[in-house]
Structure formats: C-alpha cells, structure tokens
Structure 1
Amino acid sequence: MAVAHLNGCGAVMALVVLLSGCNARIHKLSLKNETRFTVDLNNFGFFANGTLDVSLSSLWLDETLVNYNLYPVGFSLSRSRVNKVLSYTAEETETCPLTITKPTGDEPLILFLIDIKNLRVNVSAMGVQDNVLIAKAKSGEAKEKRVVRESAPENEPKPGDQPEAKSSQTEEQKEGKKEEAPADQQKEQQPEEKPNPVGEAKKVEGTTFLLNKTTKPVLALDKTNGFYNFSFQLVVGPNAEGLYSLRFHYCQNRSPGNKRPYSLTVDVIERNPGSYLSAAEIPLSRLYIYMAGVFFTAAMVWVYTLMKHRYSVFKIHWLMAALAFTKSTSLVFHSINYHFINTEGHPIEGWAVMYYITHLLKGALLFITLALIGTGWAFVKYILSDKEKKIFMIVIPLQVLANVAYIIIESTEEGSSEYYLWKEILFLVDLICCGAILFPVVWSIRHLQEASSTDGKAAMNLEKLKLFRHYYVMIVCYIYFTRIIAILLKITMPFQWQWCYEFLVEVSTLFFFVLTGYKFRPASNNPYLQLPQDEEDVEMDEVVTESGVLEGISKVKKTSNGRERQKEPAL
C-alpha cells in the first residue's frame, strides 16, 4: 500500500510539472486540425460589471471547400440562471446554432458570425439584456451607414443598422477627434474604467455598443498571413447576471461524413468585480478553510478518545485518525489554491502540487479504511481472504488513476478534446470504486449470518450483523448523496448558490466520518470489538497472535485447570 502511495505521489508531481503552463481562469486554448462542430470554451458565472475578454487569433479555415454562407462559423454566448441548463445547446438543436433568430425564452443570446469574405464579424444580440460590447468596429461599414442614414427616413430600418457606431463616427467628423463612444454609452462603460481590485485590467480600445434587439454591430476582422483574428470585451449589465457559456461553432462539420479541419487559438479572461473566480466559486476559499478547521477538531477529538481507551485501540483506529488529518490538510491546501486563483487568476505551482498530493492520499486512505472496516479486519477476523485482497489490488490503483484524472481535468482547458475524455474516465473509475467498496461489507454480513446459526454465539453475531448492516446503509447513503443527490441539487440551484454543492458534500463527508467513528469507537461495550468467548476462538486467537498478525490485541490464555482464563497484554 505504501509503495502505491509513493508511486502515486511521484506521478502527481511529474504530472503537475508538465501541466503547470495551464492556467485556471486566464484561459488559452490552441486547437490544431480540429474537426468538432462545437467547442465548449468555458462556463462562467458573472455578477453585474463582470468582464469577459475574448481574443481570437490564428484562425485558419479551408476557404476553398466550404460555403460559409450556408454553414456559418463563429461564437455563441448564451446565459442561464442554473448550471448546464442553457437557452439552447448544440446537441439539442437540429440546425446550426449560429442560424438561430430567436432564443427560447428571454435569456440573452449573442452570436458572433465570422464573414471571411468581407473581413467582418456580424454581431447579433437576442433576448432581454443590457450588456455592453467593446470592440473595434468595421470602419467601412460605419461610412456606408452614415451615407444611408443621411438619405433615408429616420424611422426606416436599414440592413446592418448600427446607431452606436454611427454616432461615434459623426462626432469624430465634426470635432476632428479620434473615435469615441456616445455619452449615454460611456455611462454604461463606466464599470470598466474603475480600478480592478485583482490587478490592472487591460485597456480596451474600440467602439462601445449597448447590446439590445435593435443593435447590429459589425466588428473588424483582420487577416495576417492567411490567419484571421479579432477580439472583444463584454461588460455584464446590472440585469444580465447569470451563468454564461462561450462556444465556438463550425457548422460545416455538423453533416456526417463531411468533416473539415480548422485551427485556432483563443485567449479568454473572465473577471467578476474583485475576483477572477466564477460567482459560484468565490465563497469556496473560505468554505474550505472553515471545513478544514472542523475536520481537524474532529480528528483531535478522535485522538483524545483513542488515548482515553488505549487498551481497546487497534491499528485501524489510528488509520481512521490519519484519514481525518489528511482530509483536513487537503482542505487547507484546496483553500490556498482557490485564494491564489481568486487574486491572480491562476494557481501557484507549489501550493497546487501540495494540494494534489494530499488529495490523492485522502482519496486512497478513504477507500482503504472503508474496505478494512467492511472486511472486519482486526476485529471480526485478523487475516484477509484472497478475494478481499483482490479488492484492495483493484481499488488502490483505481483510486490513483481517479486522482490523476482529476488533476488532468483541473489542468486542462475545457475546450480541449482530452478534457471530456478524462472527465468520463474519472466518472467511470469513481463509480467502480464506490461499487467495489460495498463488496467487503456484503461478505462480512454473509459471514456473520452463517456464523450466527452454527457456532452457538448467536447473540453476539447478531449484534455485529446489525452493526454491519447499519454501516452498509451508511456507505450507500453517503455514495448516493454525494454522487447523485448533491449533483442534482447543483444543476437546479441559481448560479450564485452552486457553491452549496461543495458545502453539502463536505458536510455529508463529516457526518459520515463522525458516524463511522462513533459506531466503531474503541470501547469495552462495543459489540464490534468484543473478544471471542469459547474454546475454538481461543485456540485461533493464540495461533494468529503467535504468527505476529494480531499485534496490540490482548489475548486470552488458559490456565492449568483448563477453564479459568486470564488476560495478558500481547507483546
């Protein structure tokens, strides 16, 4: 077991060093020869005055083989109040999401359609929103607009109407100054001019657009050496808070058997006022440090209990104490990790390594401890059977793999294809471990059921049987709640309250630890720890003790009269 731990720690350290270039909330994704029709770039919960900076560079498309009017290319930015329940998803729609003209409900949807023929990006804002877009406008479109608006009736809409850009250009003509936004839109842009508590935000140059149903901004698309690029900044309005999903769409590849490769590099920086964390993640740093204190207090109480009942203590009790301390330490490093992401936008490598190591040890210790308790090791029996040993041979490597998968997911951009692969591996491995951990408990229950009817100790075995049944129900409830119920609650909560999912998981883990410690506490009246009371068990006790397996357990010794017994501490 120790070797497995050390190997796992070494793997974690090497993996973190290799992936240390990946940032957390300052994202950079590069795709080469990609064929997916939809790339989920990121999901982020924004409060009012939060900013989203997107910079697309090195976009390469096969211009000779694709009809971009029929199969558009571009970005979509949709909003939802709850996690993963968006106004639309690419998987649910039969048509290309970039061709949507009206979103479901009033949730805002913003489309950025890339027109490589005319070197422009057409922006379409739908739904109720008051977001502000800051980007470089297409200068030719602004001139064409001025001419059309001067000759056309004021109330007649024209294709590509762009009132904000027009006003800005007219002011520039009259006063001979460089382009600036109208006064009413400068008021909307005011949040970006305030100093950023987490660092200096880069100054965005360009035209300011107040997005609504009538605004149709046209942005400039630059082309250099065959690669396209453009950038924009979105300032979330007071009435547009929510969970935003940014995606890139290449609708040509929706048709089966007609995949066209493309390449791109996109930089995404997301901020909330005073934080680089999503709305649901801002409270997590404080939550983890508080829960670390609670787990540490519980661990100290457990150690005090072990010292008080030292003559009834077994090695597994100290293993349970090590688990509680490791859990507390892991939460401390997790809190530190989130603190640096909150203030700097990315984790500090050294603290991240410490968190991943303690996280790996905590996961391995948890399943090892549960399996040992479930088999009745050192209590009901002192030697593991072959099939029980096989459970450990399966669970320990799987736990190492699950933690490595978790580290890769944390260090990989959401838009990369490997992200979803490792996410599925993590889910599958975690499910297998949770199922495998139930087998030792079931075997112990079956063993006690058979023993209660054959060895004449029905009362004692029935008490232990009842205890194991309660423990089985506890494990099932813990797994069911943390893997299913809590996740269902997460996807139904408002976006800013989704941190409650982590709170529920940590509280349920604490409750499970406390119940397990109470039921298997070292005490003379605990049926789980009662010593055998007949001749056959005495002989087996002596044999196992002499073999060195039963260490630290008081043994029963027969005297010369054959019936009187005397307890003496084992060496």
Structure 2
Amino acid sequence: MATDKRWMFTGILVFLLLITNSHCRLHHLVLKDDVRQKVHLNTFGFYKDGYMTVNMSSLSLNVDPNNVDSSTIGFSLDRTSSNGFSTYLDEELDYCILKKLPSRDMAVALLLIDFHKNVVRRKTSAEGSIFPNIDKGQEGNDETKPKSEPQPTVKAHETAAGQGKAKRDTSEVNTPEVSYPLQNKGGIYSFQFHFNVSTDDQQGLYNLYFHNCYGKEAQAAGILSFSIDINIEEKNPDSFLSAGEIPLPKLYIIMSIFFFLIGTLWVHVLRTHRADVYKIHWLMAALPFTKSLSLVFHAIDYYYISNQGFPIEGWAVVYYITHLLKGALLFITIALIGTGWAFVKHILSDKDKKIFMIVIPLQVLANVAYIIIESTEEGSTEYGLWKEVLFLVDLLCCGAILFPVVWSIRHLQEASATDGKAAINLAQLKLFRHYYVMIVCYIYFTRIIAILIKVIVPFQWKWLYQLLDELATLAFFFLTGHKFRPASYNPYLLLSVEDDEDLEMEDVVTTSVGVTEGVKKVKKISNGPSEERETVA
C-alpha cells in the first residue's frame, strides 16, 4: 500500500511538471487536423501602449486552397468592455461572420486569408481612432499605414464627391480594405500581424478568434480540417499580465497574510483550551496554513508571469500541489464536521465512509481539471472539455456534502413523532442547521454571485472576483472556527451521545439554538477522561 501511494504521488508530480510548460502569456498553440468552425485563441485586457504580436508560422488545409473562398478562413479581433458582453460574434451564430462587416460603432477587425492571391485582407468596422491600426508585424513596421496597398471597396472611377456621398449612404459596407503579403511554401502558409493600443479610447478587452467557415459555405464539399502553429505575445506597458490580472500578485500576498494570522489565532485558541480540544480541531488548524501557502506560491507564479511572460516551473508545481491539498482538505474538513466526527462520535459509519469515498475522488478530479485549465491554451480542444468537467465535478462535490444531510433531516422529522431517540437526534440535527446554511451561502457566493460580478465589471476590475472569493473563504474559515471553537460553554460541543458506535449517518447533525432544552445532564466525550456536566434547560 505504501508503495502504491509513493507511485501515485510520483505520477502526480510528473504530471504537474509536464503540463506547466504552456502556462504563460507567451502563447504557443499547435492544432492538428482540427475541424472546429471557431477557435478562441486568446482574451487579453490592454491598457494604453500595450501591444499584441501574432505569428502564424504555419497553416495547412486538407483541401486544395485554390478551392477555398477568400472570405472563408481568417481571424477576427474584437474589443469588449467586460467578459460578459460580445459586440460582434454572438450576433448571428448561423452566419459566417467573415462575410459580414458590422456597423461602424463596433470595434472589430477581420483578417481574411486569400489563398488565390497570397494576401491577407484587413477589414475594419470602426473609425481608425477607435480601433488600433493593425500592421503586418515586425517585418513591416516601417510600412504600417498608407504604404500597405489600400483597396477601398468603393469603385475607382467614382469622384471624390461621389465617394463622400457613398460613405454617407452606405456606412455599413463602405470601409476600406488593406492587404498584407501571405507567405506560401509548398502549401504551408505563414503570416504575422501586430497592433499597438495607442490611445485611451482603444483600451479594452480584446478577443482573438480563428474562423473556419468552409463547412457553412460549402456543405457539399465536405468538412475542411486545418493544422496551425501559432505564437501570440501580449503585453501591457509594465506587465505581461492582462489589465484585470495586474493587481493579483499583491492581492494574493496580502490575503495569504490574513489566512496565516487567522491560523495563528486558531492555534493560540487550541493551546489555551487544551482540555476541550478534539482531533478535528487540529485538522481545522492545518487548513488556513495550507491556504496561506497556496496563495504565496500563486503570487510568486503570477509575479514571474508578469515580469517575463512565463512562470518558473518549480514554483508553479509547488503552487499546484498546495492548491490540490487545500481543496481536498477543505471538503474533507467540512464533511467531517457535518457528519459530527469527533464532536458527536469518534468513528465513521458506513454511510459516512461512502460520502468520503465520493467526495475525495471528486475533489481530486476537480483540482486536476483546474490545473489542466490553468496550464492549457484556450484554443486547444482539451481546454473546453476540462472546463466543463471542472464545473460539473465542482457541483457534484458540493452536492455530495449537502444532500445526505437533507435526507437525514427528512428521515428524522418523519420518525421523531413516534421515536423518542429520533426526537433527540432531531434536536441535535437542528443544532448544526445554521452551519449548513452558511455552507450553502458560501458555495453559492463563490460559484455563482462572484462569477456574475466577474462578468459584469469592466475589464480592468476583473481582479475583484478573486478578492471577493478570497474574502468569502476567509469569512467562512473564521465563522467555522468561531462556531466550533474549543470551550466548555460552547453549545456545539455539548451534545448528548449514546452508543457512538451504533450511530448512523441519519443520526449525525447540523445547527440551531436552544438544543439543550429539556436536557438535565449531558455527557461530554473529550480526549481526556469522561466528565459530567449539568446544564439547565
């Protein structure tokens, strides 16, 4: 058994070492024989003087490129104010967006790959002062604007006055196009483009997509698959982090200090009230310190990404390990408190053990999914799959520690009318009711409300989501410690228990006030000798 555990730990460590290579802001995405019609390459928040460089080093198709329409394959770059609102892509999902130019009030640029002429045509919907100018990259920085062969959509023989009238009458479609050269070496195409945010009006959250509209436009011709190798570099003036992530290193360090202080306070309480301390109290003490370490390593991870665009693998692996331990320890502690282990009984029933057999593997899977998401490029096929896995498994973990308690309450309520022992158990169950309400509030806040805030707030305030999440976790730790602190007068520790070994999951309990009503003598089981306490209802 010990050998199996060592092999499992070694496997997890090797897995973490392998996946951390791609976790950076200097993105490198390789797709082979992909058939998706839309690939989300990246989302990044830019301040003034931030820039993005995209180098498509190779693009190949499984069909003859000469048979592909010039508005079928390409990129789109649009700007939004937050994560929750798209200005362009969600307008018409069943229409090839590369063939449609949106209204001029939308900040969108299209880069259409023309395989016939070996050029990339740029179409911009917004005014030049609103959307950054896109040039062909470092190789063509000296010819970024007028020298790039403009191809206006209006006819060449129109007079200046006629052109002005056309622009006024057809502002939706009369936007000039600019072409850049497309390199072709034996059917392998390459192209580089670059843009710089030069004004305050151009700041925002930019979304870069690769589009394959061949399936929509030529259903009879079959499915087009593509292989692409692309590098993306994005940077703000003083950081490789997105605008909403720049404050995160300082935020995580500050919150780690708070969790360390609350852990130190808890240890002081345990040492002060040694006679009333249970084993689970020391397990609870490990949680804030593990959380504090996880935040420290997370801050270090972001610090290196901010300064050099990619993390130091050693620090990243340590962060992932502490994050995994913190997540598992949190759910185990909540489940142990909820089942009444150590407070009410010193052994786990068969039903209790089944809960842990479900919760622990699910929590490990959820943390592995989170690590893969953090370490995988957004455009990869695995990213979307593991994101859905994380969401589903996280909900299952939360339900696994809550639903058994709800079932126990129903069972005891039905039996309490005729069974005296069930009535006592129901009183015990009510004692923990407030704690489970607090668990539900914590889960809903961190999984739903905080995420809604992340979607609504402007791009530069994205870090508020992490702040609210950490503050909610800190408050949850503090209230849990306050409710279950070791003290002779704490009503949560004055539960009447008989035949601990025979208690089933339904006899385990949750929160309320006035549980000692009608009880004349309570027997408290502690780590030391048994002692009798008399309480007055």
- Whether TM exceeds 0.5 here: the answer is yes
CA shift, 1:526, in A, is: 1.5
Larger radius of gyration: 1
1:116: which partner in 2?
115
- Structure 1 CA distance, aligned partners of 2:449 and 2:144? 50
2:345: which partner in 1?
381
- Structure 1 CA distance, aligned partners of 2:396 and 2:416? 30
Specify the code of the residue in structure 1 equivalent to 2:239.
Answer: S
- Structure 2 CA distance, aligned partners of 1:507 and 1:517? 15
Give percent identity, aligned residues only: 51
CA deviations 1:407-461 (Å, max 9, x no partner) are: 1111111101111111111111111001101135336646775579755797x86
CA shift, 1:130, in A, is: 4.1
Could you say what secondary structure the match of 1:405 adopts? helix
CA shift, 1:69, in A, is: 2.7
Q: Answer yes or no: is the 8 Å Cα contact 2:244–2:460 preserved in 1.
A: yes
- Structure 1 CA distance, aligned partners of 2:18 and 2:441? 38
CA deviations 1:162-193 (Å, max 9, x no partner) are: xxxxxxxxxxxxxxxxxxxxxxxxxxxxxxxx
CA shift, 1:66, in A, is: 7.1
Counterpart mapping for 1:302-341 below 5 A? 302-341=266-305
CA shift, 1:269, in A, is: 0.4
Mapped pair 1:505 → 2:469:
yes
- Structure 2 CA distance, aligned partners of 1:72 and 1:7? 50
Q: TM-score, normalization: structure 1?
A: 0.79
- Structure 2 CA distance, aligned partners of 1:247 and 1:66? 23
Alignment size in residue pairs: 495
CA deviations 1:45-99 (Å, max 9, x no partner) are: 1111110100112111245377433752100001100104211226842210111
Q: Answer yes or no: is the 8 Å Cα contact 1:221–1:229 preserved in 2.
A: yes
- Structure 2 CA distance, aligned partners of 1:381 and 1:312? 15
Q: Aligned match of 1:218 in 179, 200, 206?
A: 179
**Unmatched 5+ stretches in structure 2:** 168-172, 504-523
Mapped pair 1:245 → 2:246:
no
Counterpart mapping for 1:14-25 below 5 A? 14-25=14-25
Q: 1:150 to 1:403 in 2, by over 3 A?
A: closer
- Structure 2 CA distance, aligned partners of 1:511 and 1:453? 40
Q: TM-score, normalization: structure 2?
A: 0.83
Q: 1:99 to 1:143 in 2, by over 3 A?
A: closer
Q: 1:367 to 1:138 in 2, by over 3 A?
A: closer
Specify the code of the residue in structure 2 equivalent to 1:490.
Answer: K
Could you say what secondary structure the match of 1:218 adopts? strand
- Structure 2 CA distance, aligned partners of 1:454 and 1:235? 75
Specify the code of the residue in structure 1 equivalent to 2:334.
Answer: L
- Structure 1 CA distance, aligned partners of 2:501 and 2:45? 65
Counterpart mapping for 1:251-290 below 5 A? 251-254=213-216, 258-290=222-254
2:27: which partner in 1?
27
Mapped pair 1:235 → 2:196:
yes
Q: Aligned match of 2:455 in 479, 485, 491?
A: 491
- Structure 2 CA distance, aligned partners of 1:444 and 1:526? 24
CA shift, 1:466, in A, is: 3.4
Mapped pair 1:134 → 2:135:
yes
CA shift, 1:214, in A, is: 4.9
CA RMSD of aligned residues (A): 3.5
Q: 1:126 to 1:151 in 2, by over 3 A?
A: closer
Q: 1:150 to 1:383 in 2, by over 3 A?
A: closer
- Structure 2 CA distance, aligned partners of 1:374 and 1:23? 37
1:553: which partner in 2?
527
1:430: which partner in 2?
394
CA shift, 1:31, in A, is: 1.0
2:513: which partner in 1?
none
- Structure 1 CA distance, aligned partners of 2:437 and 2:29? 45
2:76: which partner in 1?
76
Q: Answer yes or no: is the 8 Å Cα contact 1:441–1:468 preserved in 2.
A: no
Q: Answer yes or no: is the 8 Å Cα contact 1:371–1:440 preserved in 2.
A: no
- Structure 2 CA distance, aligned partners of 1:84 and 1:235? 24
Q: Answer yes or no: is the 8 Å Cα contact 1:73–1:250 preserved in 2.
A: yes
CA shift, 1:532, in A, is: 3.7
Could you say what secondary structure the match of 2:113 adopts? strand
Q: Answer yes or no: is the 8 Å Cα contact 1:556–1:566 preserved in 2.
A: no
Q: Answer yes or no: is the 8 Å Cα contact 2:290–2:326 preserved in 1.
A: yes
Mapped pair 1:408 → 2:372:
yes
Specify the code of the residue in structure 2 equivalent to 1:110.
Answer: A
Specify the code of the residue in structure 1 equivalent to 2:324.
Answer: L
1:87: which partner in 2?
87
Counterpart mapping for 1:468-483 below 5 A? 468-483=432-447
- Structure 2 CA distance, aligned partners of 1:566 and 1:485? 44
Q: Answer yes or no: is the 8 Å Cα contact 1:375–1:443 preserved in 2.
A: no
Q: 1:213 to 1:500 in 2, by over 3 A?
A: farther
- Structure 2 CA distance, aligned partners of 1:454 and 1:152? 95
Could you say what secondary structure the match of 2:301 adopts? helix
2:494: which partner in 1?
530
Q: 1:32 to 1:90 in 2, by over 3 A?
A: farther
- Structure 2 CA distance, aligned partners of 1:283 and 1:377? 40
Specify the code of the residue in structure 2 equivalent to 1:397.
Answer: P
Specify the code of the residue in structure 2 equivalent to 1:114.
Answer: I
Q: Answer yes or no: is the 8 Å Cα contact 2:82–2:458 preserved in 1.
A: yes
- Structure 2 CA distance, aligned partners of 1:361 and 1:84? 32
Q: Answer yes or no: is the 8 Å Cα contact 1:111–1:125 preserved in 2.
A: yes
Counterpart mapping for 1:2-21 below 5 A? 9-21=9-21
- Structure 2 CA distance, aligned partners of 1:316 and 1:3? 28
CA shift, 1:7, in A, is: 6.7
- Structure 2 CA distance, aligned partners of 1:217 and 1:539? 79
Q: Answer yes or no: is the 8 Å Cα contact 1:122–1:216 preserved in 2.
A: yes
- Structure 1 CA distance, aligned partners of 2:369 and 2:446? 19
Specify the code of the residue in structure 1 equivalent to 2:116.
Answer: K
